[in-house]
């Protein structure tokens, strides 16, 4: 049984935990003492880890790291909402917490790193060196697998539940179960040093998704060539991966 470190037990991290915990021993971190207590009461190995730039002290190195076989980082580092100076401080705290680690490691990035313009975007069009956070992670851990995630969906997190004024564009979404499945596949194959777009291969319009999830009729859109599409072809080809939820319209179906 592998030992996995999960840094960030939030919306996504908790779901990755649920999908991986049956075959692995997982050690997770969270950002509040109350949540640490709640997690421990459920039998989860939990530690407090805060990477806030306002904290003066660096966190102590995570004592379990030398025993881990895999590390998964789901803590968000948004370049659109935060300055590079602040991100650099947060990343320094993260690196201090992890310390020296040379085994398999995953970093959850985002497809928001791609330009917000029409076109089909593939991994090689935006190398890691051109993305501040990804580049810093790669320099610290050359073996890191970087997963650029589409819009996170699943459970009650469905497009029909969002308040939207513009429903004309297409979606680049991903069901959390497919994220976990990608990680499991890469762990089993022992893959290191890869970068993948993790996005459902179908890209219906927001209008189509909302109508389908509300059981309403809607005509399919035929204007995808004028939209911003994030391609997952590399992931499908190199991992021989089959999405459990390829169609975002059906993310509400079990």
The Cα 237–Cα 42 span in angstroms is: 39
Whether the predicted pLDDT of 233 surpasses 90? yes
Is a pLDDT exceeding 70 seen at residue 103? yes
CA 22 to CA 185: how far, in whole Å? 15
Structure confidence at residue 80 as a pLDDT band (50, 70, 90): confident
Minimal CA–CA distance to 60: which of 29, 39, 84?
29
Q: What is the maximum alpha-carbon separation in the chain?
A: 56
> In the predicted model, what is the mean pLDDT of residues 247-253?
95
Judged against a pLDDT cut of 70, whether residue 171 lies above it is answered with yes
Question: pLDDT at residue 158 above 70?
Answer: yes
Interhelix angle 176-189/11-20, rounded to 10 degrees, is 50
3-class SS of residue 148: strand
pLDDT at residue 24, rounded to an integer: 96
Check residue 53 and give its pLDDT.
66
At 224 the pLDDT is: 55
Across the chain, mean pLDDT equals: 93
Cβ atoms of 169 and 116 closer than 8 Å: no
Angle between helices 132-140 and 84-98 (to 10 degrees): 20
Higher-confidence residue of 210 and 166: namely 210
The residue extents of the domains of the chain are 2-158+172-202+228-247
Residue 183 has pLDDT above 80, yes or no: yes
Q: How confident is the model at residue 129 (pLDDT cuts 50, 70, 90)?
A: very high
Which stretch of 58-62, 67-71, 135-139, 236-240 has the lowest confidence by average pLDDT?
58-62
Using alpha carbons, select from 167, 236, 168 the residue that is nearest to residue 199: 236
Question: Which of 223 and 76 is assigned the larger pLDDT?
Answer: 76
The hierarchical CATH code for the domain 2-158+172-202+228-247 is 3.40.50.720
Percent of the chain with pLDDT over 70: 95
pLDDT band at 223 (very low <50, low <70, confident <90, very high): low
Q: What's the pTM?
A: 0.94
Please state, in angstroms and rounded to a whole number, the distance separating the CA atoms of residues 85 and 153: 30
- How many angstroms separate the CA atoms of 143 and 104, rounded? 7
Helix (H, G, I), strand (E, B) or coil at 135: helix
Give tens-digit pLDDT for 6-49. Answer: 999 999 999 999 999 999 999 999 999 999 999 999 999 999 99
pLDDT score recorded for residue 222: 56
**In the prediction, which pLDDT does 57 show?**
64
**Euclidean distance between CA atoms 210 and 224, whole angstroms:** 17
Provide mean pLDDT across the span 222-226: 61
Mean pLDDT for 78-86 is 84
């Amino acid at each position: 049984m592998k030992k996995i470190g999960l840094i960030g037990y939030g919306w996504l991290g908790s779901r990755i935990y649920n999908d991986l915990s049956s075959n692995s021993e997982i050690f997770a971190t969270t950002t509040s003492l109350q949540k640490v207590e709640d997690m421990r009461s459920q039998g989860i190995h939990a530690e407090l880890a805060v990477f806030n730039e306002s904290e003066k002290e660096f966190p102590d190195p995570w004592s379990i790291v030398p025993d881990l076989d895999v590390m998964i980082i789901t803590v968000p580092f948004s370049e659109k909402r935060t300055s590079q100076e602040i991100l650099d401080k947060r990343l320094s705290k993260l690196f201090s917490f992890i310390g020296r680690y040379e085994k398999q490691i995953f970093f959850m990035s985002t497809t928001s790193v791609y330009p917000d313009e029409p076109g089909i975007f593939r991994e090689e069009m935006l190398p890691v060196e051109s993305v501040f956070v990804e580049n810093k992670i790669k320099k610290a851990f050359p073996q890191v697998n970087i997963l650029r995630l589409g819009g996170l969906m699943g459970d009650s997190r469905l497009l029909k539940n969002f308040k939207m004024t513009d429903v004309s564009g297409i979606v680049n979404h991903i069901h959390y179960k497919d994220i976990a499945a990608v990680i499991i596949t890469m762990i089993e194959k022992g893959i290191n040093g890869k970068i993948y777009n993790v996005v459902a291969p179908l890209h219906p319009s927001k209008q189509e998704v909302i109508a389908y999830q509300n059981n309403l009729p809607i005509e399919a859109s035929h204007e995808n060539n004028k939209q911003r599409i994030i391609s997952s072809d590399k992931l499908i080809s190199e991992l021989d991966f089959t999405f459990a939820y390829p169609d975002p319209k059906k993310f509400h179906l079990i």
